């Protein structure tokens, strides 16, 4: 069975003290993670050491960075290297989030370089893909997302791509007042899996976890996660509320 993952993306939120309290609150609430389930916390870089210390001995719980740079080291002031992340024991990093693509102009080829350096250092990328509103309205979302996958991931070997977690973000349904249905989520997840299958085969495609990143909340998590090709969620705002995120963890298949 594929890994079922509840991934929290704190984005640029919370002070150190607030982050510590949130983790304590989540850990104190009833939740269970089966052998095929994981909870991942993608938190701001200054708090990675704190989170690693707090979560190190928790079963099926991991810390992720929200970003890294494409070079191993050097004169790149303000950037974070994979060596830095590895030295903290970080095992996941979010790459290609729609906000990074939009605000920081991260291209598919640049993200391919980031994917490469992460895998070379045994850090698993949570690779984000998804289409904006104009693409969805033109009904060209499959071509758009397919291009993201092709240009950032399809140079990888079969063994390498099996280490990737994919997160699909329907950008058009986040903060726009429009709503993506669970059926629309399943439709795109199935497309992504089929697209991978055409390149790497069914066995590999069926081994890769594909998370949904479209405003997952406690109220809709069970319905969304029940879809055949949805393997959990990359959760934004709801991950900042302990009761909400614990309910999302408990909604995993």
Supply the residues annotated as catalytic. Answer: 97, 169
- What gap in Å lies between CA 180 and CA 185, rounded to an integer? 7
| DSSP category for residue 87 | H
The dihedral through the CA atoms of 68, 229, 247, 174 has a sign that is positive
Angle at CA of residue 116, ends 114 and 121, nearest 5°: 100
Angle among Cα 127, 130, 132 to the nearest 5 degrees reads 145
Q: What's the rounded Cα separation, in Å, for the pair 128 and 231?
A: 14
Give the 3-state secondary structure of residue 204.
Answer: helix
């Amino acid at each position: 069975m594929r890994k079922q993952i509840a991934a929290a993306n704190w984005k640029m939120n919370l002070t150190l003290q607030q982050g510590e309290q949130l983790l304590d609150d989540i850990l104190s609430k009833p939740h269970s993670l089966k052998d095929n389930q994981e909870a991942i916390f993608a938190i701001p870089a200054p708090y990675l050491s704190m989170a690693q210390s707090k979560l190190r001995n928790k079963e099926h719980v991991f810390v992720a960075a929200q970003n890294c740079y494409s070079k191993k080291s050097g004169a790149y002031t303000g950037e974070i290297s994979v060596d830095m992340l590895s030295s903290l024991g970080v095992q996941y990093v979010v790459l290609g989030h729609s906000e990074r693509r939009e605000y920081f102009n991260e291209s598919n080829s640049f993200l391919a370089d980031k994917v490469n350096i992460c895998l070379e250092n045994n850090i698993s990328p949570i690779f984000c893909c998804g289409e904006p509103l104009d693409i969805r309205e033109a009904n060209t979302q499959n071509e758009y997302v397919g291009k993201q996958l092709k240009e950032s991931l399809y140079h990888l070997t079969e063994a390498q791509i099996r280490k990737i977690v994919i997160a699909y973000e329907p950008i058009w349904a986040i903060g726009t007042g429009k709503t993506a249905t669970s059926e629309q989520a399943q439709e795109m997840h199935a497309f992504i899996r089929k697209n991978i299958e055409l390149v790497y085969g069914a066995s590999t495609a069926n081994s890769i976890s594909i998370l949904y990143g479209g405003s997952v909340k406690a109220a809709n998590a069970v319905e969304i996660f029940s879809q055949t090709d949805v393997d959990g969620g990359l959760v934004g705002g709801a991950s900042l509320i302990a009761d909400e995120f614990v309910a999302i963890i408990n909604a995993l298949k």
